[in-house]
Amino acid sequence: MSTTSLLLALTLAVSATVVGDTQARQLDPPRPVILVVHGRGFLSRDSAVFRRQALQALREGSARATGDSLLEDGDLRLVWYADLMDVRRREARSLTSCDNGAGSSDDGNPAGFFLRSLAQVLSELVDVSAADSSDNDARDIAGDLRFIGDRTVRCGAQGRVADALARARTEGRPVIIVAHSLGALVAWGYLEHRDTHDVPEIERLVTVGAPIGNDGLRELLIGDTAKVSLPRGVRSWINAVNVDDGLAARIVTGDSPLPGITDIVAERNGESAHDLRGYLRDPSTAKAVVSAWCEAARMKNRLAGCVALSKN
Q: Write down the pLDDT at residue 123.
A: 59
CA distance 83 to 74: 23
Q: Write down the pLDDT at residue 192.
A: 87
Write down how long the chain is: 312
Q: 105 to each of 86, 97, 108, 148, 217, how far by Cα in Å?
A: 22, 11, 9, 12, 16
- Which residues lie below 8 Å from residue 249, measured CB to CB, with a gap of 6+? 210, 211, 212, 213, 214, 217, 241
* Cα dihedral 31, 175, 151, 81 sign: negative
Q: Write down the pLDDT at residue 28.
A: 66
CA distance 224 to 234: 19
Q: Write down the pLDDT at residue 128.
A: 55
Task: Provide the residue type at 53 as one letter.
Answer: Q
Is-contact 204 295, C-beta < 8 A? no
Digitized pLDDT (tens) for each residue of the chain, 312 residues in all? 555 555 455 555 545 454 444 444 445 678 999 999 999 989 888 999 999 999 999 999 999 999 999 999 999 999 999 999 887 665 444 444 455 545 444 544 555 555 655 666 565 556 556 555 556 777 778 778 888 888 888 899 999 999 999 999 999 999 999 999 999 999 999 998 887 666 668 999 999 999 999 888 887 777 777 789 999 899 999 999 999 999 999 999 877 789 999 999 999 877 789 999 999 999 999 999 999 999 998 765 556 678 767 666
Region of residue 185 (left: phi > 0; alpha: psi -120 to 50; beta: else): alpha
Q: Write down the pLDDT at residue 275.
A: 95
**Sheet containing 76-79: order of strands:** 76-79, 33-37, 175-180, 202-208, 237-242, 261-266
202-208 and 237-242 as β-strands: parallel, antiparallel, unpaired? parallel
CATH superfamily of domain region 31-85+155-311: Alpha/Beta hydrolase fold, catalytic domain (3.40.50.1820)
* Cα dihedral 230, 235, 238, 239 sign: negative
What does the buried/exposed string (b/e) look like for 26-43 if buried means 16 or more CB atoms within 10 Å of the residue's CB? eeeeebbbbbbbbbbbbb
Q: Write down the pLDDT at residue 276.
A: 96
What are the boundaries of each domain within the chain? 31-85+155-311
247-253, Cβ contacts within 8 angstroms, sequence gap of 24 or more: 247/181, 247/209, 247/210, 247/211, 247/274, 248/208, 248/209, 248/210, 248/211, 248/274, 249/210, 249/211, 249/212, 249/213, 249/214, 249/217, 250/213, 251/212, 251/213, 253/213
